[in-house]
Amino acid sequence: MSRRDVRRRAGWGAVALVCALGLSPTAGLPQAVSAAWTDQELSAASIASTGVVAPTKNGCSIVLGLSVTYSWINPTTGAPRTGYVLEILRQGVVQASITVAAGATSASTSGLLSTLLGGVTYDVRVRAVSNTWSSPAVTGTFSTTLAGLITGCTW
């Protein structure tokens, strides 16, 4: 075997060894990166959430058998209120509603229903509102005689 063949075989052996070990001629050199850093800054924040608080029931009264006035106590907590909504429902369907000012403490059914059906119990809901948000409703009822006069209310 000639000297040239020995060198050739030694060269191929070295290449095979490098490939077998998975090494490349640049394995120990630093690699280029786009960007790298460490940031030791910390951040802290606090948030507060609130909701629209429902009014507290404060009684109901019947006026001449023709209307009912529902009274409540304004909540002192929660989101600022922009008003209150009183709704009258029959069998779960809203029959009439009225919106009163944020500082109001009562609302009347007077003029909301042109005629009351006789012998029917109506449900009443009052919700505090703050722009497009609203509180859970407080509920009550009022009942009518067969002649359509209001005979009782609950709150």
This prediction's pTM:
0.67
Q: Where are the domains positioned within the chain?
A: 56-154
The position carrying tokens 């290449």 is 15
Under the banding of pLDDT at 50, 70 and 90, the label for residue 37 is: low
pLDDT at 148 (0 to 100): 86
CA atoms within 13 A on the CB side of 50: 11
Report the Cα–Cα distance between both ends of the chain, in Å, rounded.
Answer: 113
Q: What is the dihedral of CA 37, 38, 40, 45, to 10 degrees?
A: 80
* Among the listed residues 146, 147, 89, the one whose alpha carbon sits nearest the alpha carbon of residue 119: 146
Sheet (strand 67-73) strand order: 56-63, 67-73, 106-108
Under the banding of pLDDT at 50, 70 and 90, the label for residue 80 is: very high
- Which DSSP letter does residue 53 get? P
Model confidence at 81: pLDDT above 90: yes
Indicate the SS3 state at residue 9: helix
- Length of the chain (residues): 155
* Among the listed residues 144, 138, 146, the one whose alpha carbon sits nearest the alpha carbon of residue 65: 144
Percent helix, strand and coil across the chain, each rounded to 5? 10, 35, 50
Indicate the SS3 state at residue 64: coil
Taking residue 5's Cβ as centre, other Cβ atoms within 10 Å add up to: 9
- Which DSSP letter does residue 95 get? E
- Is 59 or 39 the better-scoring residue by pLDDT? 59
Pick the CATH number of 56-154 from 2.60.40.10, 3.40.50.2000, 3.30.565.10, 3.30.1490.20: 2.60.40.10
